[in-house]
Chain A
Amino acid sequence: MTDQRAVNIVMIEDDEGHARLIEKNIRRAGINNNIRHFTDGTSALDYLYNDPSGPSHNGPSLILLDLNLPDMSGTDILAKVKSDEKLKLAPVVVLTTTDDKVEIQRCYDLGCNVYITKPVNYENFADAIRQLGLFLAVIQVPDPQPA
């Protein structure tokens, strides 16, 4: 793994406040990877599929996904990502306020890698993000262009 192959963090989150808090905590956990933030599903999917620096063309990515988006459901994005040959390699972390068991199970069934409930208790939230940092450190990013 080299610096050029650093993992891009794609954050799909419609709430600016949440996005800011997530980013702060990611940074506080000592993770300095690039973060691309999208507030709606359409532009996020556009980036994921078509952007030259996006995960389908280039570097490895980690997707942080909120389930409640204004234009589509997060699970729709999850399903699309996980049904795409290239994109499905990117780990997806679902980060949402829903702690409904049915919803969680559905996300795991669709292939999400981690499901984190946004707790109102901020300390827990910060902890969860820090755990995410650990997760980021240990993920193995497959080489998109095998030698």
Chain B
Amino acid sequence: MPINLQLSDRRFNRLALLGIALGFALLLGALATVVTSFNAGQSSTELVRHTDKVIDQLSLLNVELERAESGRRAYLLSPNVYRLQTYRDNVRIAPQTLDRIAGLTSDNPVQVENVAKLRGLLRLQLADMQRSMALVQANRTVLAQAEFAAASPNSIIRKVRGVTEDMRGTELGLLSERSAKLDQTVARMRRLLFATGIMLLLVGAASFWLVRRYTVDLTRTRDRLHVLNTDLEGAVLERTAELQRANEEIQRFAYIVSHDLRSPLVNVMGFTAELEETNKSLVEIMDRAEREAPQIVTDAMRHAREDLPEAIGFIRSSTQKMDRLINAILKLSREGRRTLTPEMLPMDRVLADIVASMEHPIDNAGASVEVETPLPNLVGDRLAIEQIFSNLLDNAVKYLDPARAGRIVVRGRSKRGRNIYEVEDNGRGIDARDHERVFDLFRRSGPQTQPGEGIGLAHVRALVHRLGATIDLESTLGQGTMFRVSFPETFSDQGVAE
């Protein structure tokens, strides 16, 4: 399965979240850019309007002054109420216009200076005009006309015009400067917006690609699952059948081999016994010959008399051992073929019964066995479970350390769907290199102080595996051993044991 090419759920979730967050961030950025651009545009309009207003007011001021001036001139030529009125109106509103200009340009030091200049000029002009008008009204028109004529070449009005021209120029300069700056900002914003748009597109495309790939993966996985589900039952059945066939073959093999091995063994034992019988009569004859005619007895014959019983003894003990081994194989093979019957086992009772049945060896060993109740109950085959625990307890009692009082503890617990039982002793322990080996058939560990063929733990492991359970051990040489059996909560027959 190409799992490495597929996205893990976690990675996908992280990437998708990142994509969404990035998208939102970009959108926010775009919004901010748009708002800023809009504001910049508005500021630009505002600036233009402001400049227009200032220029407008400046022109107005000029016009007002011009009109006041022309009012004065006309009045100087021929005094007339209407002309006086024009003069007065404009003289009255001109300072107001200047105030407005001052207000509009108060933020610019250059313009403030100009305004001050204007104020001075205005004051002079107004005073000048005032004086002319006053002279006319006092019927000294000639003097007024003379003064006016003298002043006209470098009239104040011209200066005012110059200053306002300056101000207009400054204002227009400012406008173009600010506009340029704003244009720059707007251009930058536009670029930013463009970039954001591109990135949004990219993120969108990436997200789309990601989701699509994930979906494709999911679909593929789902299809595969579907196929697996459909095929699983068949595959399991097929493999189980295969396994069972193989197991049965091994069982049959073990059975036949052990049977066929027994047959010659019967002969070996039988004729060895016959040989022994014959030898007895031969020895009698030799003894008699030695007594009555020692000269016919050779050394070789004397040796034979001693060697034969020894040889026969070895043959006998070896065949007996072979018989025990064959019986062990037979027992295991038979155990594997036994039908298991699951039942609810009250483990407290089961263990108490086993301990009670072992009272004699336990007392002999001077040991104490403690079952820490309550033990979790177990659904299993009674005989198999009893054999497992009596074998483990039997081993614990057999291999205690004579240097200290034996103490054996049985405890159990339920954990994550498994029932775990421990048989712990403070016995002589098992060397670390033998931890696996002790479970092998005919293998034993440590000093061979106890009779046995090395079958017990092999048998236990076969049973444990058949019940779908596992067994392991923890042991320190010279300190003790703990066997741990872990059963699945539900009973299952794993078929013929190995």
- A100 contacts B by Cβ under 8 Å: yes
Secondary structure type dominating chain B contacts: helix
Tell me the complex Cα distance, A95–B265, Å: 15
Interface string of B306-323 (1 = CB under 8 A from A): 000000000000011001
Q: Name the residue on B nearest A97 (C-beta).
A: B262
Q: Name the residue on B nearest A126 (C-beta).
A: B273
Query: Contacting B266 at CB < 8 Å: which of A24, A100, A118?
Result: A118
Are B319 and A120 neighbours in the complex by a CB distance under 8 Å? yes
Q: A97-B262, A120-B262, A120-B319 are in contact. Are A24 and B274 (CB under 8 A)?
A: yes
Tell me the complex Cα distance, A94–B90, Å: 154
Minimum Cβ distance to chain A for residue B316 (Å): 9
Are B334 and A100 neighbours in the complex by a CB distance under 8 Å? yes
Query: Contacting B273 at CB < 8 Å: which of A15, A18, A122?
Result: A122
Are B259 and A98 neighbours in the complex by a CB distance under 8 Å? yes
Interface string of B269-298 (1 = CB under 8 A from A): 111111000000000000000000000000
Residues of B within 8 A of A100 (CB): 334
Tell me the complex Cα distance, A17–B320, Å: 18
Q: A24-B274, A100-B334 are in contact. Are A122 and B259 (CB under 8 A)?
A: no
Q: Name the residue on B nearest A121 (C-beta).
A: B269
Query: Contacting B269 at CB < 8 Å: which of A24, A68, A122?
Result: A122
Please report the number of residue pairs spanning A and B whose Cβ atoms sit closer than 8 angstroms: 50
Are B323 and A122 neighbours in the complex by a CB distance under 8 Å? no
Are B334 and A97 neighbours in the complex by a CB distance under 8 Å? no
- A123 contacts B by Cβ under 8 Å: yes
Tell me the complex Cα distance, A119–B273, Å: 13
Q: Name the residue on A nearest B272 (C-beta).
A: A122
- B450 contacts A by Cβ under 8 Å: no
Q: Name the residue on A nearest B267 (C-beta).
A: A17
Residue contacts A-B, CB under 8 angstroms, 16 given: A17-B264, A17-B266, A17-B271, A21-B267, A97-B262, A118-B266, A120-B266, A120-B269, A120-B323, A121-B269, A121-B320, A122-B272, A122-B273, A125-B266, A125-B269, A126-B273
Residues of chain A having any CB pair with chain B under 8 Å = 15, 17-18, 21, 24, 68, 97-98, 100, 118-123, 125-126
Given contact pairs A21-B266, A21-B271, A122-B269, a sample of 15 additional A-B residue pairs in the complex whose CB atoms are under 8 Å apart? A15-B266, A15-B267, A17-B264, A17-B270, A21-B267, A21-B274, A68-B259, A97-B263, A100-B334, A118-B263, A120-B266, A120-B320, A121-B269, A122-B270, A125-B266
